[in-house]
């Protein structure tokens, strides 16, 4: 019989839905499964929300007090899918209670806060993961494989973007994502960190950054209720406004420890862009390009291609590629956001069963947050800032 591991999920919003779906679907995709996730308890801010979420997402039990749930003896895994201000407190308590922990990104509001989580993780014997799921898109994992195999030589340049438009309308409500106290930062921490994760995963450690960081929309209508509706206007849009105290636009130049250079940009105000999470990287022997909005595709160009066939070509990921054995049997049948979370769940449960820390773990989460801090600091000083490590 396949081992079962009981999960308590703290939070039942957008990511609650994504993670719950992955727990249910992972063994259907990856079989034999490393272990079967059992959806044991869902916790939210009050009993009604928690009970409603548990019914909808298939959890056996529900509760409104995460402190009582994380010490339950029948719980193996704590899954943190709450806004950023509660990640550290819940994760550190869960690690102390001996649980394995998966925590949504950004790991914390600042590098210092993330470091306390990494320290707690090191002290524990637990497996820990930060949920930068986009690197688990098969095309991105294939890019990593090509780079490790030396197919594009030594990396010279990495150009990454994360552009969305859900916050471009100034009448979009002032959700927790626009509050420094809750989110830590704006675009930099929320979506810039996904591109930073790509940069570290594919190229290596970033040593210093030089950034421009701006806030173009300084106030928004106050929002009723806690859940982030991601720009969808509601009745509150005609009501009183509150101050946005986080960034909404970021461009940064990067220097990598291995000599490569790069640039990244992120905004949630770019009309026409939805989930435009991209990178293009060139090395001494070729180039690779990826666009999440066409997530089944990877564009490659190898310098030793015949002269009459030079240029980017498109690989449609499928069974021959990373994670392909668990996904669909024909290339380009089409994967989506859900599959990245299913793969993440598979890798996390494999790590628990094998006892080997996965990547990205809390150390990676802390390093990404330290880079976000450096970008924010450079945005103020408009100078090169070294990344703390």
Cβ atoms within 10 A of the Cβ of 217, count?
18
Least Å distance, CB 226 to ligand NAI, is 5
Which region, judged by CB under 6 A, interacts with ligand SOE, from 115-123, 187-195, 353-361, 376-384? 187-195
Instruction: Say if residues 13 and 50 touch (Cβ distance below 8 Å).
Output: no
What are 250's strand-pairing partners?
213, 266
Strands 61-63 and 36-43, bridge-based pairing:
parallel
Both tokens of 322, joined, read 């990373």
Which of ligand NAI, ligand SOE, none has residue 191 at its interface (CB below 5 to 8 Å by kind)?
Answer: ligand SOE
Q: Which residue has the tokens 């497996």?
A: 127
Phi, psi for 313 (deg, rounded to 5): -120, 160
| Closer CB to ligand NAI, 194 or 321, in the complex | 194
CA 307 to chain centre: 39
Q: Looking at beta carbons only, is 57 or 292 nearer to ligand SOE?
A: 292
Residue window 81-120: x/- pattern of binding to ligand NAI, with contact defined by CB under 6 A? xxxx-x-----------------xx---------------
Maximum Cα–Cα distance across the chain: 66
H or E stretch covering 26: helix 14-29
Is residue 375 classed exposed, middle or buried when 0-12, 13-18 and 19+ CB atoms within 10 A define those classes?
Answer: buried
DSSP code at position 104? P
Q: Residues 6 or more apart from 34 whose CB is under 8 A from it?
A: 3, 346, 349, 350, 352, 353, 354
362 is an interface residue for ligand NAI by CB under 6 A: no
Name which of 76 and 197 has its Cβ closer to ligand SOE: 197
For the beta carbon of residue 207, count every other beta carbon within 10 angstroms: 17
268 contact choice in ligand NAI, ligand SOE, none (CB below 5 to 8 Å, kind-dependent): ligand SOE
Residue 379 lies near ligand NAI (rule: CB under 6 A) = no
- Structural tokens at position 271: 């009309």
Restricted to residues 147-166, the positions that interact with ligand NAI (CB under 6 A) are none
Q: Which of 35, 44, 164, 296 binds ligand NAI (CB under 6 A)?
A: 44
- Least distance from C-beta 18 to ligand NAI, angstroms? 7
- How far is 101 from 130, CA to CA, in rounded Å? 9
Q: Is 136 in the site for ligand NAI (CB under 6 A)?
A: no
CB 331 within 8 A of CB 319: yes
Part of the chain binding ligand NAI (CB under 6 A), chosen from 11-19, 299-307, 353-361, 370-378 = 11-19
The answer to whether 116 and 91 are in contact (CB under 8 A) is no
Number of residues that bind ligand NAI (CB under 6 A): 24
81 interface partner picked from ligand SOE, ligand NAI, none, CB below 5 to 8 A per type = ligand NAI
Considering only residues 5, 26, 42, 43, which one is a binding residue for ligand NAI as defined by CB under 6 A? 43
Residue of 8, 70, 191, 368 interacting with ligand SOE (CB under 6 A): 191
Q: Which CB, 268 or 282, lies closer to ligand SOE?
A: 268
The label of the residue with tokens 């790069």 reads 262
Single residue of 11, 111, 186, 192 touching ligand NAI by CB under 6 A: 11
- 260: helix, strand or coil: coil
Residue 164's binding partner among ligand NAI, ligand SOE, none (Cβ under 5 to 8 angstroms by kind) is ligand SOE
CA distance 77 to 94: 9
Site for ligand SOE in 156-175 (CB under 6 A): 164
Q: Out of ligand NAI, ligand SOE, none, which partner does residue 231 contact, by CB within 5 to 8 A per kind?
A: none
Binding site for ligand SOE (CB under 6 A): 164, 190-191, 194, 230, 268
Report the interface residues with ligand NAI, using CB under 6 A: 10-15, 43-45, 49, 66, 81-84, 86, 104-105, 131, 133, 190, 226-228
């Amino acid at each position: 019989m396949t081992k079962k591991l009981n999960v308590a999920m703290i939070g039942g919003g957008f990511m609650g839905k994504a993670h719950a779906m992955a727990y249910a679907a992972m063994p259907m995709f990856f079989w034999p499964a490393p272990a079967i996730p059992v959806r044991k308890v869902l916790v939210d801010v009050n009993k009604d929300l928690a009970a409603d979420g548990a019914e909808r997402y298939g959890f056996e039990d529900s509760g409104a007090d995460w402190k009582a749930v994380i010490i339950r003896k029948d719980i193996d895994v704590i899954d943190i899918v709450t806004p950023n201000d509660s990640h550290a407190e819940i994760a550190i308590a869960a690690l102390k209670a001996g649980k394995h922990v998966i925590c949504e990104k950004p790991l914390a509001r600042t590098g210092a806060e993330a470091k306390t989580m990494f320290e707690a993780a090191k002290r524990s014997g637990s497996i820990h993961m930060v949920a930068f799921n986009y690197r688990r898109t098969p095309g991105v994992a294939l890019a990593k494989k090509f780079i490790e195999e030396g197919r594009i030589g030594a990396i010279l340049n990495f150009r990454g973007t994360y552009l969305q438009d859900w916050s471009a309308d100034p009448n979009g409500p002032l959700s927790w994502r626009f509050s420094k106290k809750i989110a830590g930062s704006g675009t930099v921490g929320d979506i810039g960190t996904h591109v930073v994760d790509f940069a570290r995963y594919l190229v290596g450690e970033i040593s210093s950054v030089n950034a421009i960081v701006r806030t173009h929309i300084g106030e928004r209508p106050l929002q009723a209720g806690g859940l982030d509706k991601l720009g969808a206007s509601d009745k509150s849009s005609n009501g009183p406004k509150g101050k946005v105290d986080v960034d909404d636009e970021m461009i940064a130049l990067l220097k990598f420890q291995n000599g490569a250079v790069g640039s990244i940009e992120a905004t949630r105000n770019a009309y026409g862009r939805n989930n435009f999470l991209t990178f293009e990287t060139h090395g001494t022997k070729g180039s690779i390009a990826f666009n999440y909005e066409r997530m089944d595709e990877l564009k490659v160009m190898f310098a030793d291609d015949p002269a009459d066939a030079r240029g980017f070509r498109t690989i449609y990921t499928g069974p021959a590629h990373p994670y392909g054995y668990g996904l669909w049997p024909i290339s380009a049948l089409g994967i989506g956001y859900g599959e990245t979370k299913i793969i993440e769940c598979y890798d996390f449960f494999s790590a628990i069963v094998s006892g080997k820390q996965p990547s990205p773990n809390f150390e990676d989460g802390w390093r990404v947050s330290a880079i976000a801090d450096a970008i924010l600091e450079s945005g103020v000083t408009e100078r090169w800032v070294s990344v703390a490590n």
